[in-house]
């Protein structure tokens, strides 16, 4: 049952001059529940009837006072405030949760619509570091949110596996590299080579030319260059996959930048035909001045292509392959201009779906000692962060619940959950400074807090050891503590949609913290396993519902929900 619909129906039956659809659009949610669950402002009707809004409000209250959906309808100034019948509300919400369980809130609004979520996309041969945590975790959550709402969702990792830096790596490897050493510890060893190259090139600039030559060879399909590049890609991906496995991330495609190397000529051709390209000292550029942006360099004078060209080729390929409804890029806000430029170029190339390409930016992570720098070796590896969080959880478990079964697995779920949840707690656009202390602080409104609340609900249910039924007396759930929980359960549905529309998982994070808090208050103030059978049955249904919905919320953030902690 939709109470908003009921309000519109009740008013429309009495006031035919305004349509139900219009009324629906007018209904508001008051700033707090003391003012009702819904409010109808009367300004619009006042205009139609040429009466003061306060009078209209009073007349409406008189007309619809008698009904079975609202226990109270009040006129307050120009507003009519509606208070839902609590028993009926509890029944409506909890019956639905009981029926749908962990699928409560799932919809099919995305039916037959393909949505691509591109996320993580690290550069091979470089550390997978704390700076990548945001794209990885935000993207994974968005993937689950769209999927839950019925979109046909595709996860893509646009690996940075191409570009002039591979020329540098090949040169460095041929000069100073050793296969066994690299295979024993790939990323740090490749990073060493990369740093060494940059040191040496200061004195011997001819290495830069050599690097360019090797990249050209790679672009032209030279066997040796290709083999080395493939090997570097393989060992890097093996490292990255360890982290993806820890986070339960699965990709549908790892088509990275290199995948588009042979798809350039067509892109360049369309740009030429549309008359977009200009020569600039042998290089090809597209002038974007009319759009208030600097020109985009599309092709270097030696013919090699660039990051931006590969993004354009990738967008064309994705449209043709997936016919996307939306093509989302979860990439740091430093690349804002890059995305604005290439999306504009795709539009100028004549593709109206350019507007379905969406850059979802997020703020920067810096270290206490300054910005991260791969070249200077100033990085914190993501894998280390996850492992430290797991180790710390193991210590806490050893101290607080030494008899817990499956300790290692649960420590993994909680440790990683803590990191992921924290990452999704703030608005994504905010910058922040990474600190070990804060990352490993599990107190307060954290992932472990919500996980613990879920486990607590679970343990009440297993203690009760009965089948949960929704055939209960719902008026027993109309006290403040219970209704608060039920409201938050009810609101989750809209919250998931809001999170999708704003591409903002933190909306869900905050909501389930509120739900966990409301549940804990209920748990504290309202004993559940009481002797009174009717009361016990009704409270158990609420516990089960809260547990399922907390689990769903955590799932959408890609945080696991152990039954015991
Ligand atoms: N590999 C890039 C980096 O690490 C991110 C790629 C973002 N995705 C894209 N389609 N440009 O900075």
Q: Which of 62, 68, 113, 132 is catalytic?
A: 132
Q: What integer pLDDT is reported at residue 442 of this predicted model?
A: 73
Task: Please give the distance, rounded to the nearest whole angstrom, from the Cα atom of residue 207 to the centre of ligand 1.
Answer: 26
The answer to whether the CB of 118 falls within 8 A of the CB of 335 is: no
- H-helix segments, 323-465: 336-348, 382-400, 407-423, 436-439, 447-464
Q: In the 3-class helix/strand/coil scheme, how is 45-83 assigned residue by residue?
A: HHHHHCCCHHHHHHHHHHHHCCCCCEEEEEEECCEEEEE
If DSSP codes are grouped into helix, strand and coil, which group holds residue 227?
Answer: helix
Pocket probe mutation, ligand 1, options 125, 132, 160, max atoms within 8 Å of Cβ: 160
The CA-CA-CA angle for residues 444, 401, 407, to 5°, reads: 100
Which residues line the pocket of ligand 1, CB cutoff 6 A? Answer: 118, 121-123, 158, 160, 311, 329, 331
Check 126, 319, 454, 511 and give the catalytic one: 126
* Nearest residue (CA) to ligand 1, atom 1: 160
Give residue 21's pLDDT: 95
In this structure, the residue with its CA closest to atom 4 of ligand 1 is 122
- Annotated domain spans of the chain: 3-84, 383-556
Report how far residue 197's alpha carbon sits from residue 257's, in angstroms, rounded to the nearest whole number.
23
Ligand 1 atom nearest to 339, measured from its CA: 11
Ligand 1 midpoint to CA 260 (Å): 14
Residue 24 Cα to ligand 1 middle (Å):
43
Question: Do 383-556 and 3-84 have the same topology in CATH?
Answer: no
Q: Which atom of ligand 1 is nearest to the CA of 126?
A: 4
Quickly list DSSP for 487-530.
HHHHHHHHHHHHHHHTT-THHHHHHHHHHHHHHHHHHHHS-SS-
Could you tell me which residues come within 8 angstroms of residue 495 by beta carbon, excluding any fewer than 6 positions away? Answer: 507, 508, 511
* pLDDT value at residue 373: 75
Is the Cβ–Cβ distance between 353 and 383 less than 8 Å? no
Nearest to 110 by CA among 490, 560, 496, 550: 496
Strand-by-strand arrangement of the 38-41 sheet: 38-41, 79-84, 70-76
What SS3 state is found at 563?
Answer: coil
Mutate-to-test residue for ligand 1 from 126, 135, 236, 335, highest number of ligand atoms within 8 A of CB: 335
Separation of CA 27 and ligand 1 centre (Å): 43
User: CATH code for 383-556?
Assistant: 1.10.730.10
Q: How much is the pLDDT for 304?
A: 82
What DSSP designation does 122 have?
Answer: P
Q: Are 132 and 364 in contact (CB under 8 A)?
A: no
Tell me how far apart the alpha carbons of residues 472 and 451 are, in angstroms, rounded to a whole number. 28
Question: Probe ligand 1: pick from 121, 257, 343, max atoms within 8 Å of CB?
Answer: 121
Q: Whose CA is nearest to atom 11 of ligand 1?
A: 311
Look up 126 and say whether it is catalytic.
Answer: yes
Asked if residue 253 lies in contact with residue 114, where contact means CB atoms within 8 angstroms, the answer is no
Query: Pick from 16, 14, 11, 35: which is nearest to 26 by CA?
Result: 11
- In whole angstroms, give the CA distance from residue 246 to residue 129: 15
Of all atoms in ligand 1, which is nearest to the CA of residue 311?
Answer: 10
Supply 318's token pair: 């994705």
Q: Using CA atoms, how far apart are residues 269 and 464, in angstroms rounded to an integer?
A: 70
**Per-residue pLDDT in tens (0 to 9) along the chain, 565 residues:** 789 999 999 999 998 999 999 999 999 999 998 999 999 999 999 999 999 999 999 999 999 988 889 999 999 999 999 999 999 999 999 999 999 999 999 999 999 999 999 999 999 999 899 889 999 999 999 999 999 999 999 999 999 999 888 999 999 999 999 999 999 999 989 989 988 999 999 999 999 999 999 998 998 899 999 999 999 999 999 999 999 999 999 999 999 999 998 899 999 999 999 999 999 999 999 999 999 999 999 999 988 889 999 999 999 999 999 999 999 999 999 999 999 999 999 999 999 999 999 999 999 988 877 777 776 767 889 999 999 999 999 999 999 999 999 999 999 999 999 999 999 999 999 998 888 887 777 778 899 999 999 999 999 999 999 999 999 999 999 999 999 999 999 999 999 999 999 999 999 999 999 999 999 999 999 999 999 999 999 999 999 999 999 999 999 999 999 999 9
**Which residue has tokens 């704003």?**
502
Are 308 and 340 in contact by the 8 Å Cβ rule? The answer is no
Active site residue 400: no
DSSP secondary structure letter of residue 147:
H
How many whole angstroms separate alpha carbon 498 and alpha carbon 469?
31
Hey, whose CA ends up nearest to atom 6 of ligand 1? 121
What is the predicted pLDDT for the residue at 441?
76
Q: Is-contact 218 226, C-beta < 8 A? A: yes
Ligand 1 centroid, distance to 324 Cα (angstroms) = 20
Give the C-alpha separation, 477 to 539, whole Å: 7
Look up 490 and say whether it is catalytic: no
Residue 160 alpha carbon, nearest atom of ligand 1: 1
**Helical (H) or strand (E) element with 84:** strand 79-84
- In DSSP terms, 72 is beta-bridged to 83
Q: Residue 430 has what pLDDT?
A: 92
Report the separation in Å between the CA atom of 209 and the middle of ligand 1, taken as the mean of its atom positions.
25
432, containing H or E segment? strand 432-434
Task: Assign domain 3-84 one CATH number from 3.40.50.720, 3.10.180.10, 3.30.1360.70, 3.20.20.70.
Answer: 3.30.1360.70
What's the rounded Cα separation, in Å, for the pair 167 and 304?
A: 12
Cα–ligand 1 centroid distance for 122 (angstroms): 7
**E strands present in 128-167:** 152-156
Please tell me the total number of residues recorded for the chain in this structure.
Answer: 565
Cα 18 to middle of ligand 1, angstroms? 51
**Are the beta carbons of 393 and 411 closer than 8 angstroms?**
yes
> Could you tell me the distance, in angstroms and rounded to a whole number, from the CA of residue 386 to the centre of ligand 1?
22
Give residue 482 CA to ligand 1 midpoint distance, Å: 47
Identified catalytic residue from 6, 91, 129, 537 = 129
Which protein residue's CA is at the shortest distance from atom 3 of ligand 1?
A: 122
The predicted pLDDT at position 458 comes to 98
């Amino acid at each position: 049952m939709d109470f908003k619909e009921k309000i519109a129906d009740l008013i429309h039956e009495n006031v035919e001059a305004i349509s139900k659809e219009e009324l629906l659009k007018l209904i508001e949610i008051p700033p707090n529940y003391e003012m009702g669950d819904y409010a109808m402002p009367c300004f619009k009707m006042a205009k139609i009837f040429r009466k003061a809004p306060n009078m209209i409000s009073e007349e409406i209250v008189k007309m619809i006072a008698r009904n079975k959906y609202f226990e109270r309808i009040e006129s307050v100034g120009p507003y009519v405030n509606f208070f839902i019948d609590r028993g009926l509300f509890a029944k409506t919400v909890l019956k639905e949760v009981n029926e749908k369980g962990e699928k409560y809130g799932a919809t099919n609004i995305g039916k037959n619509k393909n949505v691509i979520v591109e996320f993580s996309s690290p550069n091979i041969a470089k550390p997978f570091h704390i700076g990548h945590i945001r794209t990885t975790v935000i993207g994974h959550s968005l993937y689950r949110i769209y999927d839950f709402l019925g979109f046909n969702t595709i996860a893509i990792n646009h690996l940075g596996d191409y570009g002039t830096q591979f020329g540098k790596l090949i040169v460095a490897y041929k000069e100073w590299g050793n296969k066994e050493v690299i295979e024993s510890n790939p990323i740090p060893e490749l990073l060493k080579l990369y740093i060494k190259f940059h040191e040496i090139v200061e004195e011997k600039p001819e290495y830069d030319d050599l690097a360019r030559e090797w990249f050209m060879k790679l672009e032209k399909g030279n066997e040796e260059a290709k083999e080395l590049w493939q090997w570097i890609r393989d060992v890097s991906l093996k490292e990255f996959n360890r982290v993806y496995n820890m986070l339960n991330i699965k990709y549908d495609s790892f088509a990275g930048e290199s995948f588009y190397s042979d798809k350039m000529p067509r892109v360049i051709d369309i740009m030429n035909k549309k008359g977009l390209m200009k020569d600039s000292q042998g290089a090809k550029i597209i002038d974007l001045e009319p759009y208030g942006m600097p020109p985009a360099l599309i092709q270097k004078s030696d013919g090699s292509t660039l990051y931006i060209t590969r993004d354009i080729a990738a967008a064309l390929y994705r449209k043709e392959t997936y016919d996307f409804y939306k093509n989302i890029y979860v990439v740091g806000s430093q690349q804002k201009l890059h995305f604005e430029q290439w999306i504009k170029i795709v539009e100028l190339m004549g593709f109206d779906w350019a507007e379905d390409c969406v850059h979802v930016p997020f703020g920067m992570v810096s270290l206490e000692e300054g910005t991260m720098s791969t070249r200077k070796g100033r990085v914190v590896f993501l894998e280390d962060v996850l492992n430290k969080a797991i180790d710390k959880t193991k210590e806490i478990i050893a101290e607080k619940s030494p008899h817990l079964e499956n300790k290692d697995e649960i420590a993994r779920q909680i440790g990683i959950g803590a990191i992921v949840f924290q990452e999704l707690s703030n608005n994504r656009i905010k910058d922040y400074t990474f600190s070990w202390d804060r990352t490993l602080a599990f107190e307060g409104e954290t992932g472990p807090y919500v996980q613990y609340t879920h486990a607590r609900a679970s343990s009440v249910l297993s203690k009760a050891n009965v089948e949960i039924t929704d055939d209960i007396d719902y008026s027993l759930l109309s006290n403040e503590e219970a209704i608060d929980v039920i409201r938050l359960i009810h609101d989750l549905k809209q919250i998931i949609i809001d999170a999708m529309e704003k591409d903002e998982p933190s909306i869900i994070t905050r909501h389930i913290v509120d739900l966990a808090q409301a549940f804990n208050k209920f748990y504290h103030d309202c004993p559940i396993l009481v002797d009174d059978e009717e009361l016990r049955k009704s409270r158990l249904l609420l516990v089960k519902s809260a547990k399922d919905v907390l689990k769903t919320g955590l799932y959408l953030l890609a945080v696991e929900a152990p039954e015991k902690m």
